Amino acid sequence: MMGPNLVAGFWARVSWSPRRAAPETPRFATQGHTSAVSAASAGRHLQGVAVSFGAPDTLVSDGGIHLLLAGEIYNRDEVAKALGNASAAHGSDATLVLAAWHHWGMTAFRILNGRFAALLLDGGGRVVVATDHAGSVPLWLRADAHGVDVSTEAKTLAGLPGTPLDVAGAQLLPGGTGVHRVQAGTALILETVQGEVRTADRVYTWTPPVSRAAVGEEIAVGRVRRLLAQAVQTRLRDDPEPTVVLSGGIDSSGVAAHAVAHGGLVHSVSMGTEASDEFGPAKVVAGHLGTDHSEMTIHSSDLVRELPWAVWAAEIADHTILEYLLPLIALYRRLPPGPRRVLTGYGADIPLGGMHRHTEPLDLLDSVIAHDMATFDGLNEMSPVISGVAGIWSTHPYWDRDLLDCLISLDPGLKRRYGRDKWVLREALARMLPAETLSRPKLGIHEGSGTSSAWTALLLEKGVPPGRVEQCKAAMARRMHDLIVLRTRHPDEISFDEVLAATEKGRTRHALER
């Protein structure tokens, strides 16, 4: 089957009391085929909805244990071999995860390398929830006296009836809705005692390494080259025509190069605005690699007005991250419809310090990298819903668990060396890309598309004083998050101009009251 074949998201309720009626089908941002799922175990009842691309297994069961898995597993062969069942690598990812649970229990989530969120109802009636190492498929909970709702999108839980309960070990979403977020690299076992939800166990399945490996140039370069090739290959699955978002920078070009090396037809696409684009550098790479390349131009004012869709997809209120995501949201929403698997170079900057290219000295660079890795959780930068709003499955090889461990643990002198940022990655790709690509300075996706300047220009045009631009952006993002995520308004119902006007009116009223 061309394109992805997986569950892209889900909502499910596990109840121990029939008192609360089942809600209507939740409004997902992810666009795909929806199907009902249901199961029962030890007096617990599971009912829900899965959103799928293709025709995957949805709810899988074995020995009274039921599993709902969104996403995919990348170390399938390793897991199957460790289970002593090589044929398990040829079944569905959900079936493989269930076999891993039978074999290892909670430890299975420390072994799995993937992009996933899982809900499991075990034979004792306990509820198990788990995220991948990076929390790249966000997972949300809302518990009450009669059950617990679990979803890959917070908006599907925000308006539910009943008095919400606290869930120990999960982070409460601000806003008074009782919605909690399962932290990245965490698995929780939830059980009920006399109507109270308790966290019986919390297991951390991954944390960013803070140690650094003392390895030479040749070993480091070879390791990065091998792990990046592996990360790209496992994400291609059996798709004969994947798409790569190509800016012409070293990160996305490296992904495109390895996708082409794996064989088959690779599509590449670049996006820009009338204010800025990277079409020239991207075209150089596409020509060198022989990809089927296309360009897309979006007017900068239209790009900024994608903000409600960015909030709808990422479910965050951080205006800086939303600004980074706007070009991707706009691109995905304008790609031709149909099943599509997209790979990006997004995320490489975090472990390699690409956004801190002017930070000196090296120990300070290492400190900011460690800080960025310690604070990424909850930003939802790599949520599949960002592309799922267009029915597209996206994945990010640089945040493969094995590659990420390697990149983080390299000493900073391999990340900045001989006056070049991300030196080890550039060297790892030296034989695959044009010289001008290997030496090209870093640009963020929001810089290459002119997103930051476009949002600023629009606010200045609307009369926002220059000194208040960042404050206004932050306030607009918070207001949209409240309307869209907490009050479940659709982004088409939200006007950028009306939110800006309400934000400025609120600021003026607050100033007068003071």
**Which residues participate in catalysis according to the annotation?**
346, 381, 442
Q: Which residues, in sequence order, are bridge partners of residue 46? A: 14, 39
Nearest 10 degrees: Cα torsion 410, 412, 416, 421: 70
The Cα–Cα gap between 408 and 352 comes to 7
DSSP letters for 409-447: HB-HHHHEETTEETHHHHHHTTTTS-HHHHTPPP--HHH
Report the first-to-last Cα separation within the chain, whole angstroms: 62
In the block, tokens 């899982």 appear at 118
Phi, psi angle pair for 305, to nearest 5°:
-75, 0
What does the alpha-carbon distance between residue 470 and residue 457 come to, in Å, rounded to a whole number?
12
| 385 CB burial (10 A radius; 0-12, 13-18, 19+) | buried
How far is the C-alpha of 165 from the C-alpha of 167, rounded, in Å? 6
CA distances from 15 to 41, 118, 125, 240 (A): 11, 17, 10, 42
397, 251 contact by CB (below 8 A): no
Instruction: Tell me the three state secondary structure of residue 241.
Output: coil
d(CA 359, CA 178): 40
Q: Closest Cα to residue 315, out of 181, 146, 141, 461?
A: 181
Strands 6-15 and 44-53: antiparallel
Distances (CA, A) of 250 to 37, 216, 437: 43, 22, 6
CA–CA gap between residue 313 and residue 318 (Å, rounded): 13
Q: Which amino acid is at 377?
A: D
Q: Pairing state of beta strands 180-181 and 140-144? A: antiparallel
Q: Which residues lie closer than 8 Å to 72 by C-beta, 6 or more apart?
A: 4, 6, 93, 114, 115, 116, 237, 395
Q: How far apart are CA 395 and CA 402, in angstroms?
A: 15
